[in-house]
Structure 1
């Protein structure tokens, strides 16, 4: 298919991480949490990060369905199955290279085993790994394999390919298309939406969505890196340190910064001299000091706001509410524990502490060991005969089993879960309160405040002390369960952050006033020298912070590059380009025609729609005269029909006529859609080989009726369990319950023919075989009454009554009906299904009588079919005559 070939060609130019992500999407349909983590690791490696733990695997043809060129591939056989589910070695399934193959099997019979092999070998869109026998503990587990035999382009000679799980599949088999419920879901661009795209485009859409999700992950990680340049404002200026700090970032020369931070012996005296000289006539130092303190106060305000939220009255009230909830849940748990110890039969003798948190953790650990190791797949506790206690590993007596049931019930009770949740919330709360920094104003800032504003300094000390007292009060109340002690009060007036903000503004105003009297022309050179020396001293104090800022800048820049690499615009542009080529009116028209064949509502119409949010074009379904989206109006079955229609529309645009496989296509369909689909698949089988796997007996009946009416050649096969050998046993034809009249009569005739030559006197085995034949003949007559004599006027599993078909029923001769009744009565007399008293027991008919009855019944069938054929011929002549009259009376167009 050209679309997937174009996607493969485009993916060849993608970075390794992106091609790997697209491969995972084609393989699995979505990116799991682990997939996203591994793709992100590959992305970070691509942008210079550490090596990822996994290697990138680019998208290839083996990952993509329908990527096999234009060759027509017709499947013939699937055989030599090894290590496939619980199949015995050597299972096989025949397929016809022309026409229709229908494989019927009940749930668990093994039908899905064959289907899964084909899905993997033929690169189905969504593949489920084929597993070996899950009940065999062999390690390493054997690898499933099978031989796939097929014809390429009708050439003479068969090609046999040995498929093995996990190995690259043959390219040509990619042309065999598979439809199942997962394939139908794959057409939906968004879950629950009625928007459809041809195979391949949804994967690009999912790639764009996954890249946005991974972008959010990168953004969150990048958000944890705080690049606060204001912490280094004191180092800025017209000097070497200032110029380096102004450009501080990932490319900063740390060697040069360390050189500047190292002071020489003569530098300190020079600073003192310059300070003395300039201090007598220059107000700038004082103004600068005021501004620096204001900056420190700004930093302190942020920390104060963070700290005080843990000790407000509302915060303390919340702690008390959570503590009360914890105590209440513990009280309820205590009642449950008391009931465990006292209120239940056999509770006496339980060890102290049974039911508490330590005991519960022990019980839950035992449960994990039981379900994962000792008794996998079995709920805990295992009370089967012979089951052992997973701790002492001795068999459980009856009283021990009862006690284990009580223990499991106790652990599962709401009281235990609620207490555990309340304890977890309380622990988290008190940890946060205990770890809160309630001394947010650093000592340097406090010392400067003490020198400039003693009152504000005292307020800082008083407030932080009150915070510590309030925290201690809350911790004591929680520890003692006693909240009666008086809560410490906070200082009156505005909160500390408001006071500090006000002081910072006053300091900046002071600096502004000081500079108003400064002569900007004086002492410039000395000031610059002093500023350069002081900046180096300050750099020495903040060197560790500066170096950390540079490292954080490198990490931030790396994440920014990864974030940009995840931008989905490139994917969206490719989607738009490919959609413009492949989502065409021809595809929409094909889907519309397929919808009509599948029995869609007249009010539902497909239309091409462009979505500007992601720049893609798709087919959407519109309900005529309805403003609500189709996804909210249509049923799941109707939406499934839409996806099947698009699948069939894609088939029509292919350049080859390879086999197409349908695995349980009737899922979610009602009888109306089943009938339409059966007709469509029979029609499709005239163009290419069609394989249908189904467990749906109703749909099977529809398929049988359809091929009988159309004369379509079909190979029916049944998958079942064979006695003592397991699943996957394939027999030609259908089960008795699903056979039509002709198949049943053929089987009865074989039973009768096998009785020839038994002699005049029947032994008991021969009598039983005659009874069996008459029993099956009775069932054949009952099936024939509906299918042949009543001409399928009324069908099971359907509310449809065919009035036209009834025309062939009228005129059934009385003598033929009496003959049919005679044979049916004899069947009823012979079969063991009726209990007849000894006085009325009739002798078992001789096999010759059985064969005669079979032949008479066959003649009745032939006569009934002739009447039906004659009736249909007359009806066709009548319909053609009506068309001629209509054509003759039609007015010519102007």
Structure 2
């Protein structure tokens, strides 16, 4: 079908390259292995795999087909613990193509069908049950024998285990199948290679999608769960609404948390907690006052140890040092006998002597030299000593000394004026009073006070160990303290306002919004991780969209319309006609396409409402024949020769439909094995006639008729050939064999045992007489359970029937009817002795031989 292949290639050239590569792999390898699937998944994720290309040729389309072969079911045996089946010997389906298995209700036909349905893996198969009237069996199994292309296989199959793959192609028709075709959407069982390719592509897409889904599910969200109380907040809504498309700027409001946000939150918490806003305002202002006091202290102290003040102190120190040096240089009194005049020690001694002199010489100007003694050693003052004291006084009272003293006093005063900082304890107390009890504040202030104390100590020590650095103006601390003081004033003002009117509900909502923002900000890292995960998930969603099989299904529907639907409908109409059901107003229509498969459904043809369904309008027999037609239309043209199994295909059908079904089954059996289970003798006979219609030689080679029966609570037993299904000649011999066995039993066990067996022989002999009339006397022109009167080459011998022939059979029928039909209790029935019974059976056998030869060769063999 080149046109179809060209259509498929044109469609493929419009698909992404990964799908084209998957198609080539399917055409080449027949399937996509797990390793190939992983390669396909990796290729799909690339830009090359996502690109639409047209360079592939898809040469495999011309050879993509399904291999055909012959499959035959041989026998079922060794059944144990399955339904109520317990055959003493295997059910063998023979070597021909047509096997008809007859059995009355409860004989095991449905059991065998259910077993085959399960073994062959049919969708309608139910689990097989053990015999509910017996104890649970130790094991449940059976042996299934079959052949493929002439190669025989025997499989030991445990009940309800996996189906036998080789038998999946066996087609089975039963009541449930008929209903399914009538009421459900069905896909054609045989799919041409061109359409099967799309089904395989759908499967590949689904497998790839499952693989991608599995990988995507591994991208587990690590985002903490949002507390319920934050669900209605703006931050909570943004947190829950994170998407792959959320930009960084969109998440900034919920991941940022500044100090002023915390301050605002603390203020709201405080406002909501207080019951007396006025008192809280007063407290805030008290705290503000403490901060201002701390600020004032800090500013004054820092100013005292700033660069300008340090430069001033150093200048005073240098001036005092210089002037003292000059004073010392001028203090070299010529009359002095010792060094050191003018030093600090000397000046102290001189000043002490001056004070003491007022005690020794009160009211006299120091130094007293006239008629006086030295106030230190109390010796009389000589002329030189007197002059020396006067020289010393002149030195002390000189200008340079005065200036040196003044400079030193200024320097001393400057040092004395250096303010003290706060001790560690004082600093802690001040911070607590100012509401600055948190650790960082205390540490910062402690460090500042410690630096001030060290600087002051160094200055008091005249910077003997080197100049110290001035204390820098703590701009940040002062600014923060000032801001805090201003904030306290604003908060106090707010509390004053709250004392007048306060919307508590609005404040509570604002607080909740801030708490939610604070919580989301704490999850900033998790939020960014979640956004990255969502972006990866979005990429996987895009990849998964590439595997959507809807487009493949649509194309499969188009191709299926060409190569499946039209042919399916034509086959259905042909089957309706072949089954004699053309007058039934039904039609098969395509309903839809799913996963690459075209689905079809039966509907009434010409119905006015369009809503009535076939199953609600057709009779039971019409439903069965329509279901059978749909089944046959679906399966007959499969390329492989697999067996057909029919379970009571003519249930609810009249004799006309029955004959058409028999003929159709015989036609099917010309190309493949057909197994028919039935409980109707009419179909049993019709199948023989239908086989003859194909040809006597074919019937002889292919038709096998079996009987199964139930016995002692179990079913499925193949029955030996008996009077009712053997030809009359053989049936005669069977009765004679049974009579010999009955005689032996009687001789061993007595007359009663003989009569029990002889009763059945008499009854079967009565049935044989009926068949003798049909098959021998009337030459099978008319037979029970057969719809037709067969006259072809059969009427000519009828004139040879004599009155004696009729009398013989009539007498025999009269004599033995009592053993087949119930009799009055007033007329007892006696079982003939063995010799009498043998004589009658032998006489019928002898008559048949003579009748067949009258005249020689003129009567057809039975």
TM-score by length of 1: 0.46
TM-score by length of 2: 0.48
Identify which of structures 1 and 2 has the higher relative contact order when contacts are C-alpha pairs closer than 8 Å and 6+ apart.
2
Higher-Rg structure is: 2
